[in-house]
Chains A and B, each alone.
Chain A
């Protein structure tokens, strides 16, 4: 499978714990995005990378959230001191500016986080 992969698919944690999610984009894609989606809503942008550079961060991304893409390939999203309001589906997507459908993003299956 050459699509976007995310790990884990599900994570249950207690409030106050730290969690880390991983995203592996499509191999030739240099742009990688993180979104958060809650029930009944569309995905909300969190941050994105071009290669290893983090180009934009949403105001939704509080100081407890940090994302990295150290070698321009996979990315991690860490949430420190989780709160119940962090419960959501965390989606990763990737894109290539040189693709025929420039602007389209290819999403992974998501990581569902539940904070108890």
Chain B
């Protein structure tokens, strides 16, 4: 069956450290993968998109890697801050459709 898995347990880290979130998928051949941030009671906010032929993307303190052999994406936040505390969702985009297929999200808590 098709699955997108993210750590269901919350990730708690200390301010200043690097947070690393994982997204694994099975039985999909994504054209691209995206990461979104979601705060409680709000809609997701787009962060980064990485295509199947790209290995790594960076934006300020954010870095995404995409390994289509391992079927895995890693999302890194360097020099994390309490304001980074939120739920982070990965989403796959597949060929022949514009819909996104989301994982369940991982809640990140950055404490001072």
Contacts and interface: CB of A to CB of B under 8 A. Distances in A.
Contact of A45 (B4, B43, B44, B99): B99
Interface residues of A, number: 28
Nearest to A106: B46
Contacts of A101: 46, 49
A93 B89 CA distance: 15
B49 A56 contact: no
Interface string A98-116: 0001011111111010000
Interface of A: 4, 31, 33, 35, 40-45, 48, 50, 55-56, 58, 91, 93, 95, 101, 103-110, 112
23 contacts: A33-B99, A42-B89, A42-B102, A42-B104, A43-B102, A45-B99, A45-B101, A48-B98, A50-B98, A56-B99, A91-B43, A91-B44, A93-B43, A101-B46, A103-B31, A104-B34, A105-B100, A107-B45, A108-B43, A109-B43, A110-B41, A110-B42, A112-B41
Given A55-B98, A101-B49, 10 more contacts: A33-B98, A33-B99, A40-B104, A43-B100, A48-B98, A56-B99, A91-B44, A103-B32, A103-B93, A105-B100
